Structure 1
């Protein structure tokens, strides 16, 4: 093993430093320190939204005022009782479980459960898939 030298490891410490302050920050700091030495009164102002992506507080107060003045009760439409009963009845006639029906229409079983419990927000595409899979009319007049 004449060609291989001794195995050594580099054990020198690696020092990671924070980024040095920019020239503008140094200049501002120098000006403030010079003013302090001269005995001038220093007034600092804290910027509350500095460095954030928030809008000015005036637009926020307008939005909250509009919401406070709003008297209408806003809510999403839910599945009507007739529809959820029709889905359950048609599924039972085909002797399908919720999971099997979900697999037939390529949706999650949770979707079928939400429709049958009345918690889902009606989606016409899903209702159309259910009508085709169950062979029953679920929308409109019977």
Structure 2
């Protein structure tokens, strides 16, 4: 290593410290108790909705009030009586159970039960499947 000046090392101490506690750590019960023991001042604030199990946005707004005051009765359309009787009659003529008919159209037996009891919301695809499986026209008999 000739021709290179004197070798010197510059060693400076490096100090590694923990991060300052964040806001959540400052609110920790242990931290608060330690601050009390050391005599530090502790500020306590009560939140507006603390302990009430209510979200800040759960208050009644203008739109909610309008919806509550709405008097129009909205309900889904149900299977008409003529359709449910036609399905039952066609199924009985073919001597099929609800479960067998449901299997023929690849639907759950509950679907057939709902259609025959009038609780189902009419679905044109299912009605078409029923017409094909039963070989009967179920719609348009008005």
For the criterion TM > 0.5, the same-fold answer is yes
**Residue 35 of structure 1 corresponds to which residue in structure 2?**
41
Structure 1 residue ranges without an equivalent (≥5): 1-21, 37-41
Structure 2 residue ranges without an equivalent (≥5): 1-20
In terms of fraction of residues, the more helix-rich structure is: 1
Once superposed, what is the RMSD of the aligned Cα atoms? 2.9
Give the C-alpha shift of residue 71 in structure 1: 0.6
**Residue 44 of structure 1 corresponds to which residue in structure 2?**
45
Give the C-alpha shift of residue 110 in structure 1: 0.9
**Residue 85 of structure 1 corresponds to which residue in structure 2?**
85
Classify the secondary structure of the residue corresponding to 1:35. Answer: coil
Distance 1:130 1:24, change over 3 A: same
1:72-93: CA deviation from partner (whole Å, max 9, x where unpaired): 0111111100000000111111
Residues in 2 aligned to 1:136 and 1:55: alpha-carbon distance in whole angstroms: 57
Q: Kindly report which structure 2 residues correspond to 1:120-131, keeping only aligned pairs within 5 A, or say none.
A: 120-131=120-131
CA contact (8 A) 2:49 2:56 kept: no
**Residue 104 of structure 1 corresponds to which residue in structure 2?**
104
User: Higher Cα Rg: structure 1 or 2?
Assistant: 2
Give the C-alpha shift of residue 47 in structure 1: 5.0
Residues in 2 aligned to 1:25 and 1:66: alpha-carbon distance in whole angstroms: 40
